[in-house]
Amino acid sequence: ETGVTQTPRHLVMGMTNKKSLKCEQHLGHNAMYWYKQSAKKPLELMFVYSLEERVENNSVPSRFSPECPNSSHLFLHLHTLQPEDSALYLCASSQVGGDSPLHFGNGTRLTVT
Amino acid sequence: GENVEQHPSTLSVQEGDSAVIKCTYSDSASNYFPWYKQELGKGPQLIIDIRSNVGEKKDQRIAVTLNKTAKHFSLHITETQPEDSAVYFCAASRAKAAGNKLTFGGGTRVLVKP
């Protein structure tokens, strides 16, 4: 059982829809991350939150909007996505500071039609 | 930025044999190198990590070596078992106070044949 829980596990949405992905960590960590995993490509870092402040936005299009209301919860709000945005979206958490290991959730499989 | 290359992309081994996966990185300031295992339908799970002040680390059947001069690191799995079949990812980061921003390799699909 992972200490990082992502919901929903699967999501199908049209290009004009608005949806949100949710991540919750039960590990007492204070940094949270969104990664995108596409077929045939390495995992891509999208956003990093450290102590609830966004410290990294890795050139992600504005149709992806993250939110971190507290150190245990992370959201990814989606709107007007493109078919190429279909991928597995992974949330991770870690302690802030130095080389703390990342712990991943099982991801949300997103399909944009 | 950092760039991590991983080889091979697929690896098939007989049960009981050893498996070796190699990664190279580009940023000489990177100082943290984890390895993750990802099974079907699950997220990546950390299996071992090494920091730049150490050349080798072992945990039961798994070992990782780091060559800072050559900027490469390797994962060694001995006495492979069918449950070792998965996709393995290496990663590197220049760990900072505000988050640990990992750059991942492209992954190696390992198949252990019984």
φ, ψ at A46 (rounded to 5°)? -105, -55
* Chain position carrying tokens 């077929």: A39
Residues of chain A contacting residue B107, judged by C-beta atoms under 8 Å apart:
42
Residues 6+ apart with CB under 8 A from B57: B48, B49, B50, B63, B64
Q: Residues B97, A30: contact at Cβ < 8 Å?
A: no
Provide the pLDDT for residue A2. 61
Cα separation, B51 vs B57, in Å, equals 9
pLDDT tens readout for residues A25-60? 999 999 999 999 998 788 999 999 988 788 777 789
Give the pLDDT of chain B (114 residues) as one tens digit per residue: 889 999 999 999 999 999 999 999 999 999 999 999 999 999 999 999 999 888 999 999 999 999 999 999 999 999 999 999 999 999 999 877 667 889 999 999 999 999
Residue A1 has pLDDT above 60, yes or no: no
Strand partners, A67: A75
Q: Which residue from A41, A50, A105 is facing B98, i.e. has the nearest CB?
A: A50
Give the strand pairing for B62-67 and A4-7.
unpaired
Please tell me the distance in Å from A19's CA to the nearest CA on chain B: 21
Q: Which of A6, A24, A36, A43 to mutate to test the interface with B (most CBs of B within 10 A)?
A: A43
Cα dihedral: B40, B43, B47, B53 (round 10): 140
Neighbours of A19 (CB within 10 A): 17
Cα separation, B37 vs B75, in Å, equals 11
φ, ψ at B82 (rounded to 5°)? -55, -35
Residue A8 has pLDDT above 80, yes or no: yes
Q: Smallest Cα–Cα separation from B10: which of B107, B114, B81?
A: B107
* Chain position carrying tokens 């339908």: B41
pLDDT tens readout for residues A59-90? 899 999 999 999 999 999 999 999 999 999 99
Cα separation, B25 vs B102, in Å, equals 12
Cα separation, A112 vs A83, in Å, equals 5
